[in-house]
């Protein structure tokens, strides 16, 4: 310690400011050189082990045998920024085989149902936060599956809101941009739609700050109605006919699904005038998972609280008689399921899903790579793996977390 102090004192004894600056630069040069070497080493190691950790999204998905086009999900060619919609209104209801070939099928419904009932066989949920506004209550949980990105579960209860309006609100891409409650959505377009089952394939482009490229999503989505409860599935789907580009970058691993249902109001009169939205979300963010969790925790509430005023504006617009957008109209085209049949089907598939979950865990052995290795390459990974969705919560939450001590 005394040697270091003597060295610094020697620096500041220089007779001129230029001499002090030169001495400080000579001391800092080895540190910058070490940082540069660390970045170069991290980048050089990427093909060997990092791809196994976070996935290589630059590579297109493996080719699969061609299947005959299903009744309601014919794939359309994609030209530049335009994509034709393929309606199939005249086709009869999908047969069981055709149902399985849809972009979103009954298997996705059963998976969401198991998530809602907490019977999917995954790890326990860890409570993250609880917030309350005058007309909204919010809770969030997280869990860390082996070999996969963090998964999030949230419960949002809106007072004086019907499940039907909330369903349309989340499905309405036009209103997302018009109202700017989801201010990350830059572009949206429909690639495929089935006016019989309500299944859609849409393309989103979401904006990010200047230091991150925009992201592109190819999303399959569909709604099932069980009484007054709506199961809304959205997930990333492969579409080789939509070419990949350097910018915006394609996000492949994406899952964001809701269960929307009426619940008792907190007014205490027993009326079912409130609406709960159970959200299950995970995606490949392209950064080490520990850093992602930190950013999400810091930025989550700031993003969520924008939803409530957006919903109230949507309610006002509907009350005023504004016409439905084509996206909200598609939310009305959903597949009806009997609650009793849903429970029976769930019981039949529960054992099978448990076996599949165990097999998936065995595949992801790379999740046990020591955390020291992940943290040591975090900077290089964040700079070079520009593949997944670096969500707004991560970008601003992480930045605020690390910039905060400097401001204080």
Average pLDDT, the chain: 75
Sequence ranges of the domains in the chain? 106-348
**pTM recorded for the entire structure:** 0.65
pLDDT digits (tens, 9 = 90+) for 88-116: 333 334 456 677 789 999 999 999 999 99
Residue 204 has pLDDT above 90, yes or no: yes
Is pLDDT at 390 greater than 60 in this prediction? no
- Element containing residue 38 per DSSP (H, E): helix 17-45
Q: Average pLDDT for residues 51-64, to the nearest whole number? A: 41
- Report, as an integer, the average pLDDT of 296-317: 91
- Does residue 317 register a pLDDT over 90? yes
Within 8 A by CB and 6+ apart from 39, the residues are: 379, 380, 383
DSSP state of 159: T
Sign of the Cα torsion 126, 285, 281, 104 reads negative
Predicted confidence at residue 29, as pLDDT, reads: 72
Domain 106-348 top-level CATH class: alpha beta
Instruction: Look at residue 80 in the predicted model and tell me its pLDDT.
Output: 37
Q: Give residue 398's pLDDT band: very low, low, confident or very high (50, 70, 90).
A: very low
Of 99-113, 314-328, 329-343, give the range with the top mean pLDDT.
Answer: 314-328
Instruction: Please give the average per-residue pLDDT across 60-69, as a whole number.
Output: 41
Q: Which residues does 87 contact at the CB level (< 8 Å), separation at least 6?
A: 193, 194, 195
Percent of the chain whose pLDDT exceeds 70:
60
pLDDT digits (tens, 9 = 90+) for 161-170: 999 999 999 9
The band of 3, judged by pLDDT with boundaries at 50, 70 and 90, is low
For range 296-305, the mean pLDDT: 84
What does DSSP assign to residue 367? G
């Amino acid at each position: 310690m005394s040697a270091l102090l003597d060295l610094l004192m020697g620096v500041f004894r220089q007779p001129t400011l230029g001499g002090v600056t030169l001495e400080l630069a000579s001391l800092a040069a080895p540190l910058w050189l070490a940082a540069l070497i660390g970045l170069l080493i991290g980048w050089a190691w990427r093909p060997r082990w990092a791809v196994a950790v976070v996935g290589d999204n630059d590579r297109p998905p493996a080719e699969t045998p061609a299947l005959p086009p299903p009744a309601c999900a014919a794939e359309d060619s994609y030209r530049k920024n335009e994509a034709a919609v393929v309606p199939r209104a005249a086709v009869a209801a999908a047969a069981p085989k055709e149902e399985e070939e849809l972009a979103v099928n009954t298997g996705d419904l059963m998976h969401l149902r198991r998530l809602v009932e907490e019977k999917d066989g995954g790890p326990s949920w860890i409570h993250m936060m609880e917030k309350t506004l005058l007309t909204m209550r919010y809770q969030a949980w997280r869990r860390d599956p082996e070999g996969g990105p963090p998964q999030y579960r949230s419960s949002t209860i809106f007072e004086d809101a019907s499940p039907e309006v909330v369903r349309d609100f989340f499905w309405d891409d036009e209103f997302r941009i018009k109202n700017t409650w989801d201010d990350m959505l830059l572009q949206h377009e429909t690639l495929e739609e089935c006016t019989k089952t309500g299944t859609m394939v849409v393309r989103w482009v979401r904006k990010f700050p200047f230091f991150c490229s925009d992201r592109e999503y190819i999303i399959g989505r569909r709604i099932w109605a069980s009484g007054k409860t709506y199961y809304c599935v959205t997930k990333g789907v492969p579409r080789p006919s939509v070419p990949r580009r350097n910018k915006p970058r394609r996000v492949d691993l994406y899952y964001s699904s809701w269960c929307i249902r009426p619940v008792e109001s907190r007014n205490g009169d027993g009326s079912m005038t409130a609406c709960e939205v159970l959200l299950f979300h995970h995606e490949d963010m392209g950064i080490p998972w520990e850093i992602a969790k930190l950013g999400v925790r810091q930025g989550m509430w700031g993003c969520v609280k924008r939803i409530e005023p957006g919903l109230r504006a949507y309610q006002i617009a509907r009350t005023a008689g504004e016409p439905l957008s084509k996206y909200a109209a598609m939310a009305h085209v959903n597949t009806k399921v009997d609650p009793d049949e849903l429970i029976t089907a769930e019981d039949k598939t529960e054992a099978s899903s448990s076996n599949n979950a165990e097999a998936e865990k065995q595949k992801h052995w790379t999740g046990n790579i020591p955390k020291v290795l992940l943290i040591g390459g975090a900077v290089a990974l964040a700079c070079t793996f520009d593949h997944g969705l670096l969500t707004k919560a991560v970008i601003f939450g992480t930045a605020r977390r690390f910039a905060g001590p400097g401001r204080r």
